[in-house]
Amino acid sequence: MEELVHRAQQGDDGAFERLYREHVGRVYALCLRLTTDARAAEELTQDVFIRVWTRLGSFRGDAAFTTWLHRLTVNVVLHQKRSALRRELRVVTEDPEVLEEMSPAAPAERAMDIDDAIAGLPPGARTVFVLHDIEGYRHEEIAELLGIAAGTSKAHLFRARRQLRRVLEP
């Protein structure tokens, strides 16, 4: 992998294409989990790889390439969400708490699989749940990524798990 990254850093289009093909599925899956929107996930995946291309020179190899790519993906998605929230706040309301509660919860009587249940979570709780329980981030890392307190991250996770239990338990 290191050799492939090095060749891509030197401008080898074939090496970059191999990196893209090897990692596009995981990047798309992460974008989809965080957005719950296939079209947005596709666009964000492309944004991620455009940023990979432009920032590959800054990759020093201090961490594994996959770790760097994963962090870049999360940052691209979170940046897009923050931008969308700012636009929506200007149009809809001055209170970001209102937007948090605008995400409709799915009816409890409807049979759901885990992906649908996660998609039904409020955006903040869904993001924390995906980052913590699926991607393995610690609360301190999530707090830094999202610009919230670690305690807020824990509260979002508690709410997400409680809602998932309610929806998924028979």
Digit-coded pLDDT (tens) for 80-128? 877 665 555 454 444 445 444 444 444 433 334 677 788 888 888 888 9
Establish whether domains 1-94 and 103-170 are of one fold. no
Residue 130: the pLDDT is 86
Q: What angle do CA 137, 5, 127 make, to 5 degrees?
A: 20
Residue 43: the pLDDT is 94
* Percent with pLDDT over 70 in the chain: 81
What residue ranges do the domains of the chain occupy?
1-94, 103-170
| Mean pLDDT within 18-46 | 92
The CATH class for the domain spanning 103-170 reads mainly alpha
Which DSSP symbol is given to 94? S
Question: Taking a C-beta distance cutoff of 8 angstroms, is the pair 160, 128 a contact?
Answer: yes
* Percent with pLDDT over 90 in the chain: 26
Is residue 1 classed as helix, strand or coil in its secondary structure? coil
- The correct CATH number of 1-94 out of 3.10.20.30, 3.40.50.10140, 3.30.70.20, 1.10.1740.10 is 1.10.1740.10
Which residue, 168, 157, 158, 162, is CA-closest to 114? 168
Top pLDDT among 137 and 109 is at: 137
**Residue 144 pLDDT > 70:** yes
Cα 13 to Cα 9, 53, 73: the distances in Å are: 9, 10, 21
Residue with tokens 């924390």: 128
Q: How confident is the model at residue 60 (pLDDT cuts 50, 70, 90)?
A: confident
